[in-house]
Chains A and B, each alone.
Chain A
Amino acid sequence: MSAPGKTEPTEAIARARTGDADAWGVLYREYAAAIFRFCRRALPTREDAEDATIDIFAKLMRDNRLLQYDQSRSFTAWLYKVAANHCWDVLRRRKTRQDKETDDLENVPLEHPDPNQLDKLIEQRTSEEVRRALDKLGARARMALVMRYYSDMSYDEIADALGVRRAFVGVVLLRARHELRQALGQVGALAAGGTS
């Protein structure tokens, strides 16, 4: 991952587009860790993440998919998008998607949390607990959260990757948060109140 304030390795990207193996090495060393962490958050196991990371870079190198990259845009964002598509494909192939389909999401009643209890819950939880809770989420919920809060993808990009309409991305994210709270074991207290 590019460090704060660092510019993207445009020269290496340009050389990699022409098939320079050394430039691919530079890009791999620069981005492999970030892509691995992304895959680690998105996929169920560490082995899956390793495989996915290798597959992503191998596919990029083999097909020289850098030719599809628009250089006027952020390379990091593009790379995350590729990774997100790959991870989602992996999950879909395994049929591990447990979320309801898009049409169902439209009618899902969203419980209104008690703001104070939610605030308290967030304050009490650690990053480690959140990561453990993330592992318990459904594939789509986890993918949505990872894409949004790890790789900072836009709603359009998330909709594109998950294959849902853009209007439902917010619903998916909200449901994911609810699942996360359930996983954190506080759903009862949070959903008890309702301020409406």
Chain B
Amino acid sequence: MKEADNLSGDAAMRHLDEMTCLLYIERQLDRARAQEVSAHTQDCAACRTLLRALERESRLLTRAMLEEEEALPARLARFEERARRSMHWIWTLAFGLAATGVYALYTSYIKPWQVQLQEAGFSGSDLLSLLIFQGAFWKGWQSMITLLEVLALVTLAGFAVVFFRKRVRRSSALALILTGFCAALLLQPASAMASETRRGESVVVGPDETIKGDIFLFGERVRVDGTVDGDVFVFGHDVSVNGHVKGDVFGFAQQLRVNGQVDGNVRAFTNTLTISATVAKNVLTFDEAVNLESSGKIGGSLTIFVENLNLDGTLGKDLLIFAKHLALSGKVNGAIKMKGDTLTINSSAQVAGPISFEGNKEPEVSPQAKLVSPVDFHKMEHKPRYMEGHYYVWQVIWLAAFVLWLGIVPVDAPLCGGRGGERRTLRGLLWAGGARVFWSSDRGHNCMRNCGGLVRRDFHIFCLVRGSVLCPSHHWRRCGAVADGAHARDVALNRKNGRRTGDRPFGHRDSRRRRMDKIRCDLVGPRRNLTGAVRPLPTHSCG
């Protein structure tokens, strides 16, 4: 120390200054200087008294500061609880609105669809059963697990994920658990899957073959030329069904051509579907383009979500269509209900039932077309109805759904077992709100560009589910350790002062520190490990 250095050399001639004494009792002097001070105080009563006074002052300061004269404020005691509880109202609101949204979604959309589908010839107790658990979607699964069991398992899996995320932090362990769960799910129904399966780049059911039971076909090119006495489940790029299928056809394909007779239903998710033969029952399909050729015939109804439909063949019952464009040249023996952009009814068209069309443009109807009644046209509205109250209700509901699934659930802690934090939650809310705005504008753009359609406009829930599934739940977490900034500064400071990392300043033995530590021990106990012996303060007076 500078002050201390000034005194070196003539310490015996002068009294110690206060700074030197302070540094001495604080153990901040180097060894040589400390020895000089120690030697001086053995002979100088005034300096010894000053040292003692300073030491007592230090002790008094420590005692005054460490005494607990104030209780911990109740506000602090409640801080943790309040931090957890502060966002509860948002959770309640979000869940409540989301539940309302689900109910409104069902009553506003699903239930009318169900009625429409039933009117279109699909008999079934409910839409879910109709789409999934009846006909081709469900056959082959009936002996496996029931819907109730599926839901129970999924729910259980969800709780398990939440539970283990709180307790098992290692992602590998969590992955192992999930893998085990998935394996258990896969192994359980294995025994029930007794149907034939064929895989390969080119898969063919030969014209001379007769398959008893269901068949699963996976391949780049798939041809069914033979007879299948059951259902056909086909997954491929280019699929042709040329033979005779006595059950249903269930296809995922880029192109699916039905050139042979199908006694059951056709359910398809394809890019292009072409039917040029007879389908005895109903067709339900999601496609970009569908052609019912003039030789094609559907005995039941056609329910279709498509961009373009060319209907040149014969449809036995009703047509329910959500499409951009429908060109009708064939015969429809039932009613037509359409939502979309344009409808063209050519001269060769015959429709036995009423036609209801909600679209963007007036339908083009050929005067030669044979219709039982004129087309009932309603122009589709795309602009949000800002003046109507229910518009804002829906906005709030969808925002709540976004907040719930895209904001809070992946970001906030309590449900996911991570740490909480109001600001992070608010950040999640802001993020969710931003996503909602972006999504709305994107949806508006689609409405304008593609002229709406239920699939594009109203299947929000698909976006929500996809977003919630794909949203990484750990995106906020910082990976890797961060350098200890304060520690780094310490190291730099030590290096600057010529001391190694972790070194403590040299402390002389005769120190107030031991006494301070004793006081501290009496009050709160030792906090640091002190090294080195402490020499007692000299007690005799100087001469």
Could you list which residues of chain A lie within 8 angstroms of chain B, going by C-beta atoms? 1-6, 18-21, 24-25, 28-29, 32-34, 36-37, 40-41, 46, 50, 53-54, 57-58, 61-62, 64, 67-70, 73-74, 76-78, 81-82, 85, 110, 112-113, 115-116, 118-119, 122-123, 125, 127-128, 130-131, 134, 145-146, 149-150, 152, 154-157, 159-160, 166-167, 170-171, 173-174, 177, 180, 195-196
Chain A nearest CB, measured from B77 CB (Å): 8
- State whether B490 touches A170 (Cβ < 8 A): no
- Is B76 a contact of A32 with CB atoms below 8 Å? yes
**Min CB–CB distance B67 → chain A (angstroms):** 5
Q: Are B73 and A46 in contact (CB under 8 A)?
A: yes
| With A36-B76, A46-B70, A123-B56 as contacts: A160 and B486 at CB distance below 8 Å | yes
B9 at the interface (CB under 8 A from A): no
B26 and A170 contacting across the interface, CB-CB below 8 Å? yes
Across-interface contacts of B77 in A (CB, < 8 A): 32
Q: How many A-B residue pairs have CB under 8 A?
A: 195
A149 to B340 alpha-carbon distance, docked (Å): 79
Q: Which of B13-21, B328-336, B380-388 contacts A (4 or more CB under 8 A)?
A: B13-21
User: Quick one: given A127-B67, A155-B505, are A21 and B23 in contact (CB under 8 Å)?
Assistant: no
Q: Are A118 and B484 in contact (CB under 8 A)?
A: no
Partner of B23, one of A24, A61, A159, A170: A170
The closest CB in chain B to the CB of A20 belongs to B419
20 contacts between A and B (CB under 8 A): A19-B419, A21-B420, A24-B419, A29-B80, A50-B73, A50-B76, A61-B419, A85-B486, A115-B49, A115-B50, A119-B52, A125-B60, A127-B64, A127-B67, A128-B64, A150-B65, A150-B66, A152-B516, A170-B22, A177-B22
Q: How far is the CB of B64 from chain A (nearest CB, A)?
A: 4
Q: Is the interface of B mostly helix, strand, loop or mixed?
A: helix
Are B53 and A115 neighbours in the complex by a CB distance under 8 Å?
yes
**Contact yes or no, B484 A76, CB < 8 A:** no
Decide: A152 and B527 in contact? CB cutoff 8 A.
yes
Contact digits for B487-510, partner A, Cβ 8 Å, 1 yes 0 no: 101100110010000001100000
A85 CB to nearest B CB, Å: 8
With a cutoff of 8 Å between Cβ atoms, the chain B residues found around residue A70 in the complex are: 484, 487
A6 to B481, CA, bound (A): 27
A69, A76, A110, A149: the one contacting B58 at CB < 8 Å is A149
Out of B46, B63, B423, B524, which one reaches A195, CB within 8 Å? B46
| B65 contacts A149, C-beta separation under 8 Å | yes
Complex CA distance for A57 and B80, rounded to whole angstroms:
9
Task: Tell me if B184 counts as interface (CB < 8 A to partner A).
Answer: no
Q: Distance in Å from the Cβ of B539 to the closest Cβ of chain A?
A: 15
Q: Is the CB of B424 within 8 A of A119?
A: no
In the assembled complex, the CB of B80 is this many whole angstroms from the nearest CB of chain A, namely: 5
- Contact with B526, one of A4, A61, A157 (Cβ below 8 angstroms): A4
Contact B419 A155 (CB under 8 A): no
Q: With A58-B421, A160-B489 in contact, is A131–B69 under 8 Å at CB?
A: yes
Query: Is B75 an interface position by the 8 A CB rule?
Result: yes
A121 to B17, CA, bound (A): 19
B525 at the interface (CB under 8 A from A): yes
In the docked arrangement, what's the CA distance between A4 and B520, Å?
A: 9
**Is A81 touching B528 in the complex (CB atoms < 8 A)?**
no
Contact of A68 among B68, B413, B483 (CB under 8 A): B483
B83 adjacent to A166 (CB under 8 Å)? no
Is the beta-carbon distance between A19 and B418 smaller than 8 angstroms?
yes
Q: Does chain A have a CB within 8 A of B79?
A: yes
Q: How large is the interface on B (under 10, 10 to 19, 20 to 34, 35 or more residues)?
A: 35 or more
Q: Which of A46, A50, A125, A146 has the most CB of B within 10 A?
A: A50
CA gap between A68 and B487 in the complex, in Å? 9
Whether B83 pairs with A58 at a CB distance below 8 angstroms is yes
Closest B-chain residue to A129, C-beta based?
A: B64
- In the assembled complex, the Cα of A180 lies from the Cα of B94 at a distance in Å of 56
Contact between chains at B60 and A3 (CB < 8 Å): no
Whether A21 pairs with B413 at a CB distance below 8 angstroms is: yes
| Contact assessment for B61 and A149 in the assembled complex, using a CB-CB cutoff below 8 Å | yes
Q: Which of A36, A50, A127 has the most chain B CB atoms closer than 10 A to its own CB?
A: A127
Contact between B57 and A67 (Cβ–Cβ < 8 Å)?
no
- Of all chain B residues, the one with the shortest Cβ separation from A157 is B490
What residues on B are CB-neighbors of A85 within 8 Å? 486
A68-B483, A70-B484, A110-B17 known; A57+B423 contact, CB < 8 A:
no
Nearest chain B CB to A171 CB, angstrom units? 7
The verdict on A3 contacting B65 (CB below 8 Å), with A119-B53, A196-B17 known, is: no
CB distance from B288 to the nearest CB of A (A): 46
Which chain A residue shows the least CB distance to B504? Answer: A154
Q: Report the minimum CB–CB distance from A14 to chain B (whole Å).
A: 10
A173 to B65, CA, bound (A): 15
> Considering only CB atoms, which chain B residue lies closest to A159 in the complex?
B493
Asked if residues B484 and A68 are in contact (CB atoms below 8 Å), the reply is: yes
Say if the beta carbon of B482 comes within 8 Å of chain A: yes
Interface membership of B477, Cβ < 8 A: yes
A57–B79 CB distance below 8 A: yes
Of chain B, the residue at the smallest CB distance from A16 is B419
The 10 A-B residue pairs with the shortest CB-CB distance, nearest first, are A4-B525, A130-B64, A115-B49, A115-B50, A127-B64, A119-B53, A150-B65, A118-B53, A19-B419, A149-B61
B378, CB-defined interface residue at 8 Å: no
Given the complex, which residues of B lie within 8 Å of A2, measured CB to CB? 525, 527
Known contacts A2-B525, A28-B79, A174 near B22 by CB under 8 Å? yes
